[in-house]
Amino acid sequence: IDDMIQDLTYRLESQGLKLDMYMQYAKTDLAKMREDYRPQAADYCKSDLVMEAIAEAEKLEVSEQEVNQQIEMMANSYQRPVEEIKEILIKNGGIYNIINSMRLMKAGELVVNNAVVDGSPLAQENQGVSETAEAVEEVQEEVTEKSEE
């Protein structure tokens, strides 16, 4: 939930607005926003757990080159020097977030590339799907058990 609110704050600031102004216009407060975000945050957590299990099972890694490319794209997007963006990310632990996010994206791409719809593979290759499917099932069972508690 905190990440979602932080993301909203960044998006608002990129448009020249402050979170306080947004809450005033939307006639809401932080407690109500947190309550509203809770179901979506739970879904994100479940999805992330599944993607993390897939990334683990498939031993997915993110290279330094991939991280640097992502930082360059961020620098271009914010129209800031690459070194400035790197410094900010290092200072607030954002490099880890980038690596984790990219790893989860790779897991999602793996799922899509190995998806089978109506008995037909969506991608040409279909390797490691059974191991990944087992890992996904285990995580889904854990998530379901924990959410029922």
Q: What is the mean pLDDT of residues 129-149?
A: 59
- Please say whether the beta carbons of 5 and 30 come within 8 A: yes
Beta pairing, strands 120-121 & 116-117:
antiparallel
Mean pLDDT for 116-121 is 68
Mean confidence (pLDDT) of the chain = 83
- Where b means 16+ CB within 10 Å and e means fewer, 67-84 reads beebbeebbeeeeeeeee
* pLDDT over 70 (residue 128): no
Give the separation between CA 11 and CA 32, rounded to whole angstroms.
19
pLDDT digits (tens, 9 = 90+) for 38-74: 999 999 899 889 999 999 999 999 999 999 999 999 9
Global pTM value = 0.61
Given a contact cutoff of 8 angstroms between Cβ atoms, the answer to whether 52 and 101 are in contact is no
What's residue 122's pLDDT?
A: 53
- Residues linked to residue 116 through DSSP beta bridges, in sequence order: 121
Query: Rg of the chain over CA atoms, in angstroms?
Result: 19
